[in-house]
């Protein structure tokens, strides 16, 4: 019965995502970004017609990272604003009452919502990301070295953020939980930038800001891992060690330890959410 | 299964099956505090199988909190709940329970039929599509089954909520203010629905401000005040006190003594002709049918001119106000 509940609620969450305006706004934003990037890449090729294949690869690789960052931002916004209302909004409006008075366990309902959101967010990242790869391939002839790993890491990043959004939504109001989740996502990214500047300048305490923030909220770490899979390895060699890390350039792939930590982090936050939701008076 | 162990197990099973079914709701010593405010303070009551029980009380008396505790939506600080024989901590206790919340809201992006299907699936009960349609028709939403709930008026959403509460063949239905958004016609429909449930032997716990409604359909009433059970009992027990209003002329000391024998009496001087006397007859579930004629005959014999005799019943509303104002906790169980 519990597995059934998870399944029913996951399907319901996907149905909700499909029918609410959030999907349409997400689709419009994505199409806009894809169209803009297609135009941009086409111009890149036309303006600098004489690019050597190596230069085209370098340019394509860097601009691809920029656009993928835009996509991951859209995914983050979309899922955070879906995850927020899903618990807090339903408690506030009262629609959780009728559902939770059924013979269901609260954690199963929560797990169903989480699963539905993961499928939705992950699906979005994979579809939109793949469309972007095709655009880059057609316009400048660049294909990332590890597209699947990169997309999987981006999907994982979305998962991490929506898990945080769910936790927040058991404690604070729906809109606030979305805003806080996206705010934290942005703050971690900035902390990551600060950290890489610290790395470049050899300032240890600055570098630690990045490391600590990547542990507290693994979105930025995953983003860097994804970037690494999109970049041309030759480009990294070319850039060498002079620049070190930059917000849109990642020198090293992710370690297995970091991925394991991300898994543990997600399970911890989800367990905390289930505990908070289970104890809450409706 | 053979041997003495098997036999004794079979005997125990037989014994269990012969026991009367557990009550639909049994709760004992429920207590709930929200920060400094005590919302529920030692509430205990029972709803028998097939019984319709009304939960009455002023705003903030703790009625909705009690209902939410019963359904596992709010965790009590103390007390125990058994729903259809299972502890409320077990989700399966709610498998045969239907609930219409006071704050009724259903997924606005689903159609009415989809909401019902969702609740049927969540309840784990097999209900055919035809039965689901019939359930929607039963609350007057047959022609809106394919429309999104987001476009429904409040009254229609409440009707849908009733359908949700009734769709999964419940043995217990908990209705929290089921007519708050309905017009008089809708209220009459709900009354008919309640009577139909009663006929089918479905237990109902009804929280309603409409005392007339409660009086018409409920077998028993539990009155809550400031989180406590102020009174509870069958309607006959709670309303057992009957009154007799008489317009009399020429009442003297002996006639007054005869009136006092019948019950406590008061005199109002506005009768024309004569004076109006109100006699509160003793609470008796099985009253003597000859009491009133006997009183009238005696009064006439004592030279009193009797202009009018009018038996009256105390309404539930008067009784409720009486209980809440005086705080008299005389409990009938």
Residue B76: phi, psi to the nearest 5?
-75, 150
- Which residue in B283, B289, B288 sits closest to B332, CA to CA? B283
Is B72 a member of any domain? yes
Query: Is-contact B51 B93, C-beta < 8 A?
Result: no
Is B324 a member of any domain? no
What number is the average pLDDT over the span B110-138? 93
Whole-Å CA distances, A164 to A80, A84, A170, B263: 8, 9, 10, 71
Shortest CB distance from B75 goes to which of A1, A15, A279?
A: A279
Q: Which pLDDT score is estimated for B65?
A: 93
Residue B221 forms beta bridges with which residues? B54, B233
User: Cβ A101–B72 below 8 Å, yes or no?
Assistant: yes
Partners of residue A104 in chain B, C-beta under 8 Å: 91, 122
Least confident window among A57-71, A160-174, B73-87, B88-102: A57-71
Q: Write b or e for each residue in B167-183: b if 16 or more Cβ atoms lie within 10 A of its Cβ, otherwise e.
A: bbbbbbbbbbbbbebbe
- Domain shared by B42 and B183, yes or no: yes
Is B156 a member of any domain? yes
What number is the average pLDDT over the span B50-61? 90
Q: Which helix (H) or strand (E) holds B277?
A: strand B275-281
> Which span out of A13-27, B150-164, B263-277 was modeled with the highest average pLDDT?
B150-164
Query: Is-contact B262 B295, C-beta < 8 A?
Result: yes
Domain of B125 in residue numbering reads as 25-238
pLDDT bin (cut points 50, 70, 90) of residue B155 is very high
pLDDT by position in tens, chain A (length 282): 789 999 999 999 999 888 877 778 888 888 888 898 888 888 877 776 666 667 777 777 777 888 888 888 888 777 777 787 778 888 888 889 999 999 999 999 999 999 999 998 888 889 988 998 888 888 877 888 888 988 999 899 889 988 988 888 888 887 788 788 888 888 888 888 888 788 778 788 888 888 888 888 888 888 888 888 887 776 666 655 444 455 556 666 778 888 999 999 999 999 999 999 988 888
Q: Decide: helix, strand or coil at residue B25.
A: strand
Shortest CB distance from B74 goes to which of A4, A104, A281?
A: A281
Taking only the tens place, the pLDDT of each residue in B161-175 is 999 999 999 999 999
Residue A10: phi, psi to the nearest 5?
-60, -45
- Which residue in A7, A93, A22, A77 sits closest to B150, CA to CA? A93
How many structural domains does chain B have?
A: 2
Helices A256-279 and A106-140: crossing angle, nearest 10°? 140
Answer whether 0.90 is exceeded by the pTM. no
* CATH number for position B246: 3.30.70
- Domain shared by B231 and B249, yes or no: no
- Domain shared by B198 and B141, yes or no: yes
- Domain shared by B186 and B70, yes or no: yes
A189: number of Cβ within 10 Å:
21
- HSE at residue B113, side-chain half, CA atoms within 13 A, is 14
Shortest CB distance from A282 goes to which of B73, B97, B161?
A: B73
pLDDT bin (cut points 50, 70, 90) of residue B4 is low
- Domain shared by B145 and B157, yes or no: yes
What number is the average pLDDT over the span B174-183? 91
Query: Is-contact B329 B230, C-beta < 8 A?
Result: yes
Instruction: Please name the residues in contact with B17: beta carbons below 8 A apart, sequence gap of 6 or more.
Output: none
* CATH number for position B179: 3.40.50.300
Integer Cα distance of A207 and A193 in angstroms:
9
Q: Does B104 or A214 have the greater pLDDT score?
A: B104
Residue of A nearest to B118 (CA): A8
Q: Which pLDDT score is estimated for A202?
A: 79
Helices A2-19 and A21-47: crossing angle, nearest 10°? 60
Antiparallel, parallel or unpaired: β B37-47 and B25-34 = antiparallel
Whole-Å CA distances, A65 to A35, A135, A243: 16, 13, 17
Antiparallel, parallel or unpaired: β B203-207 and B172-176 = parallel
User: Cβ B91–A105 below 8 Å, yes or no?
Assistant: yes
Whole-Å CA distances, A257 to A215, A254, A262, A265, B294: 11, 8, 9, 12, 97
Integer Cα distance of A188 and A157 in angstroms:
12
Partners of residue A1 in chain B, C-beta under 8 Å: 91-92, 124
- Domain shared by B135 and B88, yes or no: yes
- Domain shared by B194 and B271, yes or no: no
- Domain shared by B185 and B306, yes or no: no
Partners of residue B100 in chain A, C-beta under 8 Å: 98
- Domain shared by B104 and B202, yes or no: yes
Compute the nearest-CA separation of B329 from chain A (Å).
30
Instruction: Please name the residues in contact with A175: beta carbons below 8 A apart, sequence gap of 6 or more.
Output: A84, A85
Structure tokens at B226: 């400031």
Radius of gyration of chain B from its Cα atoms, rounded to whole angstroms: 25
Q: Which helix (H) or strand (E) holds A188?
A: helix A174-201
Query: Is-contact B105 B157, C-beta < 8 A?
Result: yes
H-assigned helices in chain B: 3-18, 63-70, 112-123, 129-138, 154-167, 184-199, 211-217, 235-238, 253-262, 291-301, 316-326
Compute the nearest-CA separation of A12 from chain B (Å).
8
Residue B243: phi, psi to the nearest 5?
-125, 155
Largest CA distance in chain A: 68
Instruction: Give the residue extent of every domain in chain A.
Output: 2-279
Q: Which pLDDT score is estimated for A249?
A: 60
- Which residue in B327, B129, B92, B102 sits closest to B229, CA to CA? B327
Q: Which pLDDT score is estimated for B264?
A: 81
Compute the nearest-CA separation of A15 from chain B (Å).
9
Is B174 a member of any domain? yes
Q: Which pLDDT score is estimated for A242?
A: 46
Q: Does B37 touch chain A (CB under 8 A)?
A: no
- Domain shared by B134 and B60, yes or no: yes
> Of all residues in chain B, what percent carry a pLDDT higher than 70?
93
How does the average pLDDT of chain B come out, rounded? 86
User: Cβ B104–A15 below 8 Å, yes or no?
Assistant: no
pLDDT bin (cut points 50, 70, 90) of residue B332 is very low
Is B114 a member of any domain? yes
Shortest CB distance from B105 goes to which of A5, A94, A282?
A: A94
- Domain shared by B77 and B212, yes or no: yes
Whole-Å CA distances, A76 to A34, A86, A125, B214: 17, 15, 10, 52
Taking only the tens place, the pLDDT of each residue in B242-256 is 778 888 888 888 888
Q: Which pLDDT score is estimated for B168?
A: 92
- Domain shared by B248 and B177, yes or no: no
Integer Cα distance of B228 and B40 in angstroms:
6
């Amino acid at each position: 019965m519990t597995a059934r509940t998870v399944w029913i609620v996951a399907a319901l969450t996907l149905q909700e995502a499909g029918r609410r305006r959030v999907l349409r706004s997400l689709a419009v934003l994505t199409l806009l970004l894809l169209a803009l990037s297609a135009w941009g890449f086409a111009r890149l090729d036309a303006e600098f017609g004489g690019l050597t294949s190596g230069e085209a690869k370098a340019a394509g690789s860097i601009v691809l990272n920029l656009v993928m960052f835009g996509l991951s931002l859209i995914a983050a916004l979309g899922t955070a604003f879906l995850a927020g209302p899903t618990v807090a909004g339903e408690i506030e409006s009262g629609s959780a009452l009728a559902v939770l008075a059924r013979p269901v366990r609260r954690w199963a309902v929560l797990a169903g919502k989480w699963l539905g959101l993961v499928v939705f967010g992950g699906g979005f990242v994979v579809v939109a990301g793949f469309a972007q790869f095709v655009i880059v391939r057609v316009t400048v002839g660049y294909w990332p070295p590890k597209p699947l790993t990169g997309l999987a890491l981006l999907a994982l990043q979305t998962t991490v953020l929506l898990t945080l959004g769910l936790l927040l939504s058991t404690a604070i109001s729906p809109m606030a939980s979305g805003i806080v989740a996206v705010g934290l996502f942005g703050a971690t990214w900035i902390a990551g930038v600060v950290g890489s500047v610290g790395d470049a300048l050899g300032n240890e305490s600055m570098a630690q800001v990045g490391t600590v923030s990547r542990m507290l909220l693994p979105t930025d770490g995953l983003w860097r891992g994804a970037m690494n899979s999109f970049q041309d390895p030759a480009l990294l060699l070319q850039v060498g060690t002079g620049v070190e890390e930059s917000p849109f350039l990642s020198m090293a792939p992710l370690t297995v330890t970091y991925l394991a930590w991300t898994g543990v982090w997600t399970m911890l936050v989800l367990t905390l959410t289930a505990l908070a939701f289970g104890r809450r008076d409706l | 299964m053979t041997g003495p162990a098997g036999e004794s197990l079979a005997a125990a099973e037989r014994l269990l099956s012969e026991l009367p079914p557990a009550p639909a709701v049994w709760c004992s010593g429920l207590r709930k505090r929200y920060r400094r405010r005590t919302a529920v303070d030692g509430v205990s009551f029972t709803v028998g199988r097939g019984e319709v029980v009304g939960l009455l009380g002023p705003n903030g008396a703790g009625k909705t909190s009690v209902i939410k505790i019963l359904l596992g939506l709010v965790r009590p600080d103390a007390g125990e709940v058994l729903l259809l024989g299972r502890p409320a901590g077990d989700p399966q206790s709610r498998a045969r329970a239907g609930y219409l919340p006071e704050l009724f809201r259903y997924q606005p992006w689903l159609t009415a039929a989809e909401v019902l299907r969702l609740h049927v699936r969540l309840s784990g009960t097999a209900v055919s599509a035809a039965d689901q349609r019939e359930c929607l028709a039963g609350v007057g939403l047959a022609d809106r089954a394919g429309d999104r709930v987001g476009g429904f008026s409040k009254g229609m959403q409440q009707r849908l909520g009733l359908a949700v509460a009734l769709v999964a063949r419940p043995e217990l239905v908990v209705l929290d203010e089921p007519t708050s958004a309905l017009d008089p016609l809708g209220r009459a429909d709900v009354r008919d629905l309640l009577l139909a449930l009663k006929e089918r032997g479905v237990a109902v716990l009804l929280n309603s401000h409409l005392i007339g409604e409660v009086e018409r359909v409920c077998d028993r009433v539990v009155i809550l005040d400031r989180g406590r059970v102020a009174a509870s009992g069958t309607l006959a027990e709670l309303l057992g006190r009957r009154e007799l209003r008489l317009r009399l002329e020429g009442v003297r000391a002996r006639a007054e003594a005869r009136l006092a024998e019948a019950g406590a009496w008061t005199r109002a001087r506005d009768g024309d002709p004569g004076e109006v006397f109100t006699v509160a007859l003793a609470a008796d579930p099985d009253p003597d049918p000859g009491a009133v004629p006997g009183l009238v005959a005696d009064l006439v014999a004592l030279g009193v001119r009797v202009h009018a005799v009018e038996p009256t019943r105390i309404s539930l509303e008067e009784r409720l106000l009486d209980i809440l104002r005086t705080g008299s906790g005389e409990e009938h169980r």
